[in-house]
Amino acid sequence: MRITQGAFSFLPDLTDDQIAAQVQYCLEKGWAVNLEYTDDPHPRNTYWEMWGLPMFDLKDAAGVLLELKECRKHFGDRYIRLSAFDASHGWESVRLSFIVNRPANEPGFKLQRTEMEGRHVQYTTVPYSADKPEGQRYK
Amino acid sequence: MLDETLVPTSVRLRDEIEGAGINEVLAQLDEDLIGLKPVKTRIREIASLLLIERVRQKMGLLGDTPTLHMSFTGNPGTGKTTVALRMASILHKLGFVRRGHLVSVTRDDLVGQYIGHTAPKTKEILKKAMGGVLFIDEAYYLYRPENERDYGQEAIEILLQVMETQRDDLVVILAGYGDRMEKFFTSNPGFRSRIAHHVDFPDYEEKELGDIAELMLKQQNYQFSEGARRAFDEYIHLRKQQPLFSNARSIRNALDRARLRQANRLVADLDRELTATDIMTLEESDIRASRVFSKTES
Look at B130 and A63 and tell me if their CB atoms are within 8 Å: yes
Element (H, E) at B239: helix B226-241
Mean pLDDT, all residues of chain B: 86
Q: What is the pLDDT of residue B44?
A: 86
Q: How far A86 CA lies from chain B's nearest CA (Å)? A: 18
Confidence of residue B137 (pLDDT cuts 50, 70, 90): very high
Look at B127 and A52 and tell me if their CB atoms are within 8 Å: no
For range A126-135, the mean pLDDT:
88
Q: How many CA atoms lie within 13 A of B287 on its CB side?
A: 24
CA gap A50, A79 in Å, rounded: 12
CA gap B237, A123 in Å, rounded: 89
Confidence of residue B64 (pLDDT cuts 50, 70, 90): confident
Mean pLDDT, all residues of chain A: 93
Q: Which of B101, B123, B131 sits opposite A62 (nearest CB)?
A: B131
Contacts of B169 in chain A (CB under 8 A): 60, 62
Residue A10 has pLDDT above 60, yes or no: yes
Residue B28 has pLDDT above 90, yes or no: no
| Angle, in degrees to the nearest 10, between helices B118-129 and A62-75 | 140
**Contact (CB, 8 A) for A58 and B127:** yes
CA gyration radius, chain B: 23
Look at B101 and A59 and tell me if their CB atoms are within 8 Å: yes
Element (H, E) at A21: helix A16-28
Looking at chain B, the whole-number percentage of residues with pLDDT higher than 90 is 30
Look at B130 and A59 and tell me if their CB atoms are within 8 Å: yes
For range A27-42, the mean pLDDT:
94
Q: What is the pLDDT of residue B54?
A: 82
Contacts of B98 in chain A (CB under 8 A): 60, 62
- Out of B8-12, B80-84, B154-158, least confident range: B8-12
Judge if ipTM > 0.90: no
- B98: nearest CA in chain A? A60
Q: What is the pLDDT of residue B156?
A: 92
Residue A134 has pLDDT above 60, yes or no: yes
In b/e form, how buried is each residue of B104-115, taking b as 16+ CB within 10 angstroms? bbebebbbbeee
Element (H, E) at B229: helix B226-241
Residue A66 has pLDDT above 50, yes or no: yes
Residue B1 has pLDDT above 80, yes or no: no
Would the pTM count as exceeding 0.90?
no
Contacts of B166 in chain A (CB under 8 A): 62, 66
Look at A66 and B127 and tell me if their CB atoms are within 8 Å: yes
CATH, range A16-105: 3.30.190.10
For range B80-97, the mean pLDDT:
86
Looking at chain B, the whole-number percentage of residues with pLDDT higher than 70 is 96
Confidence of residue B297 (pLDDT cuts 50, 70, 90): low
For range B93-116, the mean pLDDT:
90
Q: What is the pLDDT of residue A70?
A: 93
> Of all residues in chain A, what percent are helix, strand and coil, respectively (each to 5)?
20, 35, 45
Q: What is the pLDDT of residue B6?
A: 63
Segment B176-225, tens digit of pLDDT: 998 899 999 988 888 888 888 889 999 888 888 998 899 889 988 999 99
Q: What is the pLDDT of residue B296?
A: 59
Contacts of B126 in chain A (CB under 8 A): 63, 66
Please tell me whether residue B176 adopts helix, strand or coil conformation: strand
Contacts of B99 in chain A (CB under 8 A): 59-60
Question: Which residues 6+ apart lie within 8 Å of B258 measured at CB?
Answer: B282, B286, B287, B290
Q: What is the pLDDT of residue B298?
A: 47
